[in-house]
Structure 1
Amino acid sequence: MKFDAIVLGAGIVGVSVAVHLQRRGRTVALVDRKLPGSETSFGNAGLIQREGVYPYAFPRSARKLLLYARNRGADVRYHASAMPKLAPFLMRYWWHSQRQRHADIARVYATLIEHSVSEHRALAEVAGATGLLRRNGWIKIFRTPAMRDQELRTIEQWHREFGVSYEALDAAGLYALEPHLASGLIGALRYTDADSVSDPQALVRAYARYFESLGGRVFVGDADTLAPQWHVNTREGPVKARSVVVAMGPWSDRISSIFGYNLPLAVKRGYHMHYASDPCTQLSHPVLDAESGFMITPMARGIRLTTGVELGLRDSAKTPVQLAAVEPVARKLFPLGPRLDDEPWMGCRPCTPDMLPIIGPAPRRSGLWFAFGHAHHGLTLGPVTGRLLAEMMTGEETICDPTPFGVERFAL
């Protein structure tokens, strides 16, 4: 079975790459060990963050660092046993998070983020999936004036620099939008340019069905069998192509290292749980409780509670202590019903120390391409990444300058 390209990884990034290549006349085999959207793309808060121009930085203040060092925070926890291995990555992450360096990164990052919503909407339209997108933004709530004022200063800066739109809500405005939230909140920000998704896995699978309708093929296969130039084993037999794209999220370094690319990729682990909701109550927006470190999102399955960051090794056992810590707080914020999942879901966000994804060709290996490292914004940036990489692979004019996302920025 011969194709023009093999895409390894059927999450939102891999599916989007496959779609855009197929639309440009390439024959594409999409290969994954599971069905599309079954791994990291399954478990997230469902946000398409047009406002997310500043990627999530490492805390720099001494107060924050001391707080997190105690390892009791709701938003960030760590595995002490993993710290020796993660320390080099975290030091580089901390370095890139310095204020001016972070601002420089944001100017590059914004060239992708600005197309996030429009590229999703365009793809959802042709895939018949617009019903999965909500166009009413998302909300960050405030319990204290200090947090409110700090976040207002930040969003005003983002508005000046990047044109990010927002709505500042007082308590009355917040409860007009979300009347079933707990009393006592003093206000909120609504990020008006963002979209949200009622079922991220269903969205990825809708994009995958559209890919198949264009003539693309989806295979269950083993990426570890990849060999130049290029072939990989699947249940239906070996698949061959002139080019291969590694879009395997947190597992991408396993393949890149085989071919000599020792990239600084680490993971931020996260958890979610679904809850039934009272038919007499309604949640209309994703709601972030920034001071308590969790988000609740209305999903097709129920209300999804997602946690903050857990720093640990990708394949170590689940430790959902953050979920246990924030669930009582979430129940006070919104009337959650019983748990609907047998156990908490856990996923891993693939992260680079400079907070930028890796998108582009691999030097020294003809036909090898990378598309991974999107951290918290994999769902947000999937379609624009797919378009950018497909344009690069087919020699078209690109939607933005791909140079800052090249793998060459790391010492190889």
Structure 2
Amino acid sequence: MAEVLVIGAGMVGVSTALALQAQGHAVTLADRRAPGKETSYGNAGVIQVEAAEPYPMPRAQLDLLRHALGRTNDVTWSLPGLASMAPALWQYWRASAPNHHARVGAIYARLTSRATDDHAPLIAASGSENLAARQGLALVFRDPAKFEQECGYAAHLASQYGVRYRAYSGTEWRREEPALQIDPIGAIHFTDSWSVSDPGALTSAYAALFEQRGGHVIEADADTLTQTANGWRITGSAGENIAEIAVLCLGPWTGLALRRFGLRVRMVLKRGYHAHYDAKNQLRRPFLDTDNGVVLSSMRAGLRMTSGAALVAPDAPPTPGQLVRGERGVGDLIALGPRIAGSDWYGTRPCLPGMLPMVGSVPGKAGLWVNFGHGHQGFTLGPTTAILLVETMDGASGALQTALAPATRLQPRLMGFTPKTEANRPTV
């Protein structure tokens, strides 16, 4: 048994703490905020087993031009954002080449295919069945050509990875989803995905389960993490906590934490927004409005609209234009109702250019491990990569562990690195 610090209390961090605890380790979970209050709070609440392949960057010239001209709402950008992430975006574009993306998909599908199975025991043990629905996820189309194209892609997912789906005409789908006001052109229903009516509450429930089983949750900032002669130390409101092993599960902030130890990781940071609406009708399941690049989900707090990705500088002020455009675009399809005051939120999705999460030990840093870089799927994959991390700690090896290992993906810092002082240290 080892003493372990897990730093970051989102879905990935809480799941990691539970997986380590299940193997008999003494675990302390640390975050500057309460569990489930960052990116795990603000997603669409879908456990996406249908997402067998990660989202590639568009490579066709016409698609790139449409994004560049702002003709789509699923991805927006700013010049400072592109400039700040240019090397990572270049790597992402190269990794999106068909042959490489197919190899990545074969690995990624091994993660998503087990996501609901890995969540299930935690949902049951944490008493969260009231939050979970097993009605799938829908993609709704108004463009016949796009519907036909995506039906072909769904058939590819089914034949390649066993993803189950059904394609519906618009009239059929409106009978299946009576909250809709008009018949769309068609819909694709991925039947095996689950949804959660309060993602932050589910993460908090997992954290409460961790505490019930004897774990400790403390308030501490990752910026105070230091290496000691025998392990790692973090300082919080209740003093110092020391452990043999530290695991960074900080999502988009993991790169900053690693920089303090002389390691560089390039990331594509995709900002996302959500807001809630006082809609009269509840949805049977979440759906993606493919024309407007937003996901609609019925939540405990109202009907949630979640935006696509905004490539902006990390310190850019919030500009929720994707939500405004989404509101205008979906109005004929569903009655949103008024936006609920104070429900606006934004956060950042931690995407690695190679599109796979990084799970394993940090080279050259004894006792330091990471579990991050899940892109759009941290809520989906938290329990799965947590189990893989613990198995790797126990000596498991194989193609999956190798593909996710940090050893070949972290770069030493360029020469000229100056350690940050107390005055210029960033908040993580």
TM interval, short-chain normalised: over 0.9
Stretch of structure 1 that moved more, 397-406 or 113-122:
397-406
Q: How many Å separate the matches in 2 of 1:269 and 1:362? A: 26
Q: Deviations over 1:58-116 (max 9, x none)?
A: 00111111111113421111011222221111111010001111111000111111111
**1:266 counterpart = 2:268:** yes
Aligned to 1:181: 180
Give unpaired runs (5+ residues) of structure 1. none
Amino acid of the structure 2 residue aligned with 1:314: P
Deviations 1:113-155 (A, max 9, x none): 1111110112111111122111010111111210111001001
- Within the alignment, does 1:294 sit opposite 2:312 as a pair? no
Q: Distance in 2 between matches of 1:292 and 1:222?
A: 38
Match of 2:364 in 1: 364
In 2, Cα distance between the equivalents of 1:334 and 1:400? 45
Equivalences for 1:1-400 in 2 at 5 Å?
4-228=3-227, 229-278=231-280, 281-342=281-342, 344-395=344-395, 397=396
Q: Deviations over 1:338-378 (max 9, x none)?
A: 11142621110001101000100001111000100000001
* Partner Cα distance (2:397, 2:302) in 1: 39
The answer as to whether partners of 1:275 and 1:302 remain within 8 angstroms in 2 is yes
Task: Quote the offset at 1:209 in angstroms.
Answer: 0.6
User: Does the CA contact (< 8 Å) of 1:142 and 1:188 recur in 2?
Assistant: yes
1:274 Cα offset (Å): 0.3
Matches of 1:194 and 1:385, distance apart in 2: 18
**Alignment partners' CA distance in 2, 1:398 and 1:408:** 13
In the TM superposition, what is the alpha-carbon distance from 1:31 to its structure 2 partner? 0.3
Whole-Å Cα distance in 1 between the matches of residues 353 and 239 of structure 2? 38
In the alignment, the residues of structure 1 paired with residue 29 and residue 157 of structure 2 have an alpha-carbon distance, to the nearest angstrom, of 37
Deviation at residue 177 of structure 1 after TM alignment: 1.4
Deviation at 1:33, TM superposition (A): 0.4
- Cα distance in 1 for residues equivalent to 2:301 and 2:118: 26
CA–CA separation in structure 1 for the residues paired with 2:79 and 2:400:
39
Give, as a single letter, the amino acid of the residue that structure 1 aligns with 2:29. L
> Offset at 1:260?
1.6
- SS for the counterpart of 1:318 is coil
Q: Name 2:414's counterpart in structure 1.
A: none
Alpha-carbon distance between aligned partners in 2 of 1:343 and 1:305, rounded to the nearest angstrom:
10
With over 3 angstroms needed to count, the CA separation of the structure-2 counterparts of 1:195 and 1:323, relative to structure 1, is: same
Cα 1:127–1:400, aligned 2, differ >3 Å: closer, same or farther? farther
1:3–1:240 contact (8 Å) kept in structure 2: no
CA distance in 2, matches of 1:373, 1:282: 33
* Cα separation, 1, equivalents of 2:37 and 2:341: 15
Which structure 1 residue ranges, 4+ long, deviate > 4 Å from structure 2?
397-400
Amino acid at match of 1:126: A
Matching residue's letter, 1:247: C
Q: Distance in 1 between matches of 2:311 and 2:99?
A: 25
Matched-pair contact (CA < 8 Å) for 1:272–1:323: yes
Q: How many residues align?
A: 408
Partners of 2:368 and 2:397 in 1: how far apart?
19
Kept in 2, the 8 Å contact 1:388–1:399? The answer is no
- TM-score, normalization: structure 1? 0.96
C-alpha offsets along residues 259-283 of structure 1, whole Å, 9 cap, x if unaligned?
12101122100100000111xx331
In the TM superposition, residue 51 of structure 1 has moved relative to its aligned partner by 0.9
| Distance of 2:33 and 2:402 partners within structure 1 | 32
Q: Deviations over 1:139-191 (max 9, x none)?
A: 11111210111001001011111001001111232112111212131210100
- 8 Å contact kept, 2:139–2:187: yes
CA distance in 2 between partners of 1:293 and 1:185 (Å): 15
Unaligned runs of 5+ in 2: 412-428
What secondary structure is seen at the aligned counterpart in 2 of 1:125?
helix
- Give the Cα–Cα distance (whole angstroms) in 1 for the partners of residues 284 and 250 of structure 2: 32
User: SS of 1:346's equivalent?
Assistant: strand
Identity %: 40
Code of the residue aligned with 1:264 in structure 2: it is: R
Is the 1:121–1:130 Cα contact (8 Å) retained in structure 2?
Answer: no
- How far apart in 2 are the matches of 1:233 and 1:7? 13
Q: Against the structure 1 CA distance between its residues 111 and 398, is the aligned structure 2 distance closer, same or farther, given a 3 Å change threshold?
A: farther
1:73 & 1:409 partners in 2: Cα distance? 35
2:266 maps to amino acid: P
Please state whether the residue corresponding to 1:333 is helix, strand or coil.
coil
Distance 1:83 1:401, change over 3 A: closer
For residue 406 of structure 1, what is the aligned residue in structure 2?
Answer: 405
